[in-house]
Amino acid sequence: MPTNSSPVWLITGCSTGIGREIAIAALKKGHRVVVTARRPETVQPLADEFPGKAIAVRLDVTKQDQIDAAVAAADAAFGGIDVLCNNAAYGYMAAIEEGEDEEVRSLFETNFFGPVAMIKAVLPQMRARRSGYIINISSQAGLMSNPGTAYYSASKHALEGLTEGLVREVKPLGIRVTAVEPGPFRTEWSGASLKQVGNPIADYADNVGARRAMIAGMHGKLPGDPEKAGEAIVGLYDVVEPPMQLLLGKVLYDTYVAKLKTVSQSIEDWKEVTLATDFPPGT
């Protein structure tokens, strides 16, 4: 175990938004935090505000050497990592046909392969201790997909699938795992952090283009409060049996419940075809 009773968090992507609020909420609860960002000067004020409880570390989750260095820094400063929170991610607006191959691959490197690399970096010590908690910050987009954000959704659906399998793999080892799905929150996801396709195709103006304009128009006005999200996520640490999925925000609650009803109805509507594809019983 780490050197004393206050848990140690390593949080990726703490420069703004929910990641920063998770770090603040954990520090205010007396937890110790490795606060990371690609530009550590953006998170150094947190380390200065909480001396002995926080360290600021450079971390780009697409670079293995920086991942290794961040884990080593956590070990040196605090004796280990109790909670890994994979938060670093960004959005990308493009119709599927418009998607630029290099941008799509870069998106997956950060949003999916980055968390994979982080998980693999911390699991050995968690396995050895038979304790630990991995929190993957997914998205509403990990549960449903819309025009213009299908690539982002695909990266988050991949993270959801990884999380579900990981829950079952590591629970016998005493390690907890949760995916957190924020709905529309007032962060830079819809602003400076959102990448846009360079050459939009006019034929997609009525759906992808309209959604692009809607997202731009709602920036700074979205209903989700990042501070409350941070507090809710940090509160998971005290739950003995945390949920595999935690939805955040009324918009997501309402839309996902509606989707599940639609999916359930479709399954029943096509039940006869579904069941007719097996070999006859006894053959």
| Positions marked catalytic | 138, 152, 156
Name the helix (H) or strand (E) containing 84: strand 83-86
> The tokens of 18 are what?
């929910």
CA torsion 183-185-188-191 (nearest 10°) is 80
Determine the straight-line distance between the first and last CA of the chain, rounded to whole angstroms. 54
Q: Are 143 and 259 in contact (CB under 8 A)?
A: yes
Q: Are 251 and 183 in contact (CB under 8 A)?
A: yes
The DSSP-derived string for 164-230 is HHHHHHHGGGTEEEEEEEE-SBSSGGGTTT-EE-SS--GGGIIIIIHHHHHHHHHTTT-SB-HHHHH
Q: Sign of the C-alpha dihedral, residues 261, 265, 268, 270?
A: negative
